[in-house]
A and B are shown apart, each in its own frame.
Chain A
Amino acid sequence: DTGVSQDPRHKITKRGQNVTFRCDPISEHNRLYWYRQTLGQGPEFLTYFQNEAQLEKSRLLSDRFSAERPKGSFSTLEIQRTEQGDSAMYLCASSPGLAGGGGTDTQYFGPGTRLTVL
């Protein structure tokens, strides 16, 4: 299967600990997105990358959150000093990033990492 993969699928941590999630996009997809989804809500945009460049960050992405995509392939999302309010599903998506593609640049989602902060 060559879809978007995320690791781990589940993470339980104690408040104050740091956690890191990994996302492997579909091969040769230029764009990579991170979202957070809480129960009963739709995905909320966090940030996105065009190759290795982080082009946009949501205000939801506090100073405790950092994302990287060092070689333009996989990406990591780190949360420092986790809080109970960080408990959520973290979704990654990738898209081809078609030049001038308009709305045809479709995002494909991974299965998500469910974070529980105790």
Chain B
Amino acid sequence: AQSVTQLGSHVSVSEGALVLLRCNYSSSVPPYLFWYVQYPNQGLQLLLKYTTGATLVKGINGFEAEFKKSETSFHLTKPSAHMSDAAEYFCAVIPNAGKSTFGDGTTLTVKP
């Protein structure tokens, strides 16, 4: 069984500030962890993924995430927020095949 918890359904930051979106997971097998972004009325776009190897993963648009097994976390960060980052972000545990589990999402608001 697997589950994903995203702490904070809404996060608001000022433009230029650090973005931190939290994700904790549980998985009975080694996890494959993903972050997706969704803009209004659109599908999900892959930001980054962790499968094996280096625990710090870099993605598109300046985002990165660190896999911490001891904390069962996969938090998403960006050093400096941009207005265009405003969107909904989803953390997911996705096996090689079969049932994927997504968190409920975090809406990021960027204030000018």
User: Per-position contact with B for A39-53: 1 when CB-CB < 8 Å, else 0?
Assistant: 011111100101000
- The segment from A13-21, A64-72, A76-84, A99-107 found at the interface with B is A99-107
Do most interface residues of chain B lie in helix, strand or loop, or is the interface mixed?
A: loop
- A111 touching B42 by the CB < 8 A rule? yes
The answer to whether A97 and B9 touch (CB under 8 A), given A103-B32, A109-B43, A111-B43, is no
- A102 touching B44 by the CB < 8 A rule? no
The answer to whether A105 and B97 touch (CB under 8 A), given A112-B42, A114-B41, is yes
Which residues 33-51 of B have a CB within 8 angstroms of A?
33-34, 36, 41-46, 49-51
Residue from B9, B95, B98, B101 having most chain A Cβ neighbours under 10 A: B98
Chain A residues positioned under 8 Å from B92 (CB to CB): 42
- B99 touching A45 by the CB < 8 A rule? yes
Q: Which of A42, A102, A104, A111 contacts B105 (CB 8 A)?
A: A42
User: How far apart are B43's CB and chain A's nearest CB, in angstroms?
Assistant: 4
- A4 touching B43 by the CB < 8 A rule? yes
- A103 touching B96 by the CB < 8 A rule? yes
Complex Cα distance, B103 from A44, in Å, reads 9
The answer to whether A42 and B104 touch (CB under 8 A), given A56-B98, A91-B43, A103-B94, is yes
User: Per-position contact with A for B1-38: 1 when CB-CB < 8 Å, else 0?
Assistant: 00010000100000000000000000000001110100
Complex Cα distance, B9 from A33, in Å, reads 26
Q: Could you list 12 examples of A-B contacts with CB < 8 Å? A: A31-B97, A33-B100, A42-B90, A42-B92, A43-B44, A44-B102, A45-B101, A56-B99, A103-B50, A106-B46, A108-B46, A110-B43
